[in-house]
Amino acid sequence: MDITSLFTQFLSGLTYGTILFLVAAGLSLIFGVMNILNFAHAALWLMGAYFSYTFWNLMQEYSFAFWLSIPLAGFAAAAVGWFLEVVLIKRIYKRELHEQLLITYSIALILSDTIKLTWGVTNKLIVRPEMIRKPVFIFGSPLDSYFIFVILSGAAVAIGLWWFLKYTRYGHIVKAAVYSREMVAALGIPIPRIYTWVFTLGIFLAGFAGGIQAPIGSITLGMDNAIIIQAFCVVVIGGFGSLLGTLVGSLIVGEVFSFTILYWPEGAMVLIFVITAAILIVRPWGLFGTPMRT
């Protein structure tokens, strides 16, 4: 296999990894700060995709509709996330992990039915603008031109989150809350309010990722079932709560999948699960996670 083909496959892995990162970033952030394993994350991601379709549909005649619908999907999903946090999630912070999983799984089922009732069962298709319907060639390797935007968005989210956590006051509070929420609360910082906004931000990322996913294929019910498993693999490999870990985990999953397909197509997904299982056994806190949390 020539170098161009290998580079093409690398680019495919990069795009796949970026899409996974966008989904997993919010999941990891919410778990890292709030200790909530949100099984409904992918359902909110799917809702974001449907929101994006609705916004695009409403503004179709305008050239900016396609691009604007993506962040708007993030905000709409964030509103749903905020509501869920205030009404439900707030009440399960101190519950056992298995209870949290059951409750968030129930939320996922409710959201799936809500999506079905709101948007119906028919697939939704967003028609891309002419300028991103053809491939671009990077060193002779074809790349879906829309994926340039996807990769840049992934990079922007990674940098934005890193900057937020490292350089802003709220970022420092959020990071501090990861390690000792009691100490943060003792300083007079309202932890519940911080949690609400962290959850909302996490769901904004899910909705934004859904908006980005929407024009890649068609939007269909049940899309969330597969992605949530892969997103969990990503955060397990990278380490729950670690932004860098999520990024690296996504890229590992994307590239492993992409290159395994060339040589052992049947085993591409299996290998990812094997890596995930191995990490869980050898280093349960993931590649970049921390073993000690209070």
Partner 1 sequence: MDFRKTTAFFVTVITCLFFFGMTGAKAAEPYNLGVALGLTGAGALYSADGVEGIKLAVEEINAKGGFLGQHKVELFIRDSQTKPDVGVREVKDLILRDKIRAVINDYSSAVAMAVKPIAQEYKVLHIASISNSENITMINPSPYTFQVVPNSYMQAKAAAVAVAKMANQKGWKEYITIASDYEWGRSTQASAVKFLKESAPNLTLKKEFWPRLGETQFTSYITGIMAMKPDFVLGSVASNDNVAWMEQAKTYGFFDKIPYPGSLITVTELQLQAKTLPRNMIALTRAPFFAHMDNPMMADFVKNYRAKYNKYPSDWAVLSYDAVYALKQGVEKAKSIDTEKVKDAMKGLTVDLTRGKLTFRTIDNQLSCSSYTGTIADDPRYPFPIYKDIIEIKGSESERPESEILEARKATK
**What would you report as the CA-atom Rg of the chain, rounded to the nearest whole angstrom?**
19
Tokens encoding 26: 């919010």
Strand, helix or coil for residue 141:
strand
Is residue 153 a contact residue for partner 1 (CB under 8 A)?
no
d(CA 6, CA 131): 26
- Shortest Å, Cβ 252 to partner 1: 14
Binding mask 93-112 for partner 1 (x = CB under 8 A): -------------------x
Q: Which stretch binds partner 1 (CB under 8 A): 164-172, 222-230, 241-249, 285-293?
A: 222-230
Single residue of 104, 153, 213, 250 touching partner 1 by CB under 8 A: 213
Single residue of 90, 91, 95, 133 touching partner 1 by CB under 8 A: 133
Q: Which stretch binds partner 1 (CB under 8 A): 2-10, 25-33, 165-173, 193-201?
A: 2-10
Query: Among residues 122 and 180, whose Cβ is nearest to partner 1?
Result: 122
**Cβ atoms of 208 and 74 closer than 8 Å:** yes
d(CA 26, CA 99): 20
| Distances 93 to 33, 34, 86, 203 between C-alpha atoms, Å | 11, 7, 12, 17
Q: What residues form DSSP beta bridges with 124?
A: 219
Query: Among residues 140 and 160, whose Cβ is nearest to partner 1?
Result: 140
For residue 44, report the phi and psi dihedrals to the nearest 5 degrees.
-70, -30
Binding site for partner 1 (CB under 8 A): 1, 5-6, 8-9, 11-13, 15-16, 19, 112, 116, 120-123, 125, 127-128, 132-135, 141-147, 213, 216-218, 220-223, 225-227, 257-258, 261-262, 265-266, 268-269
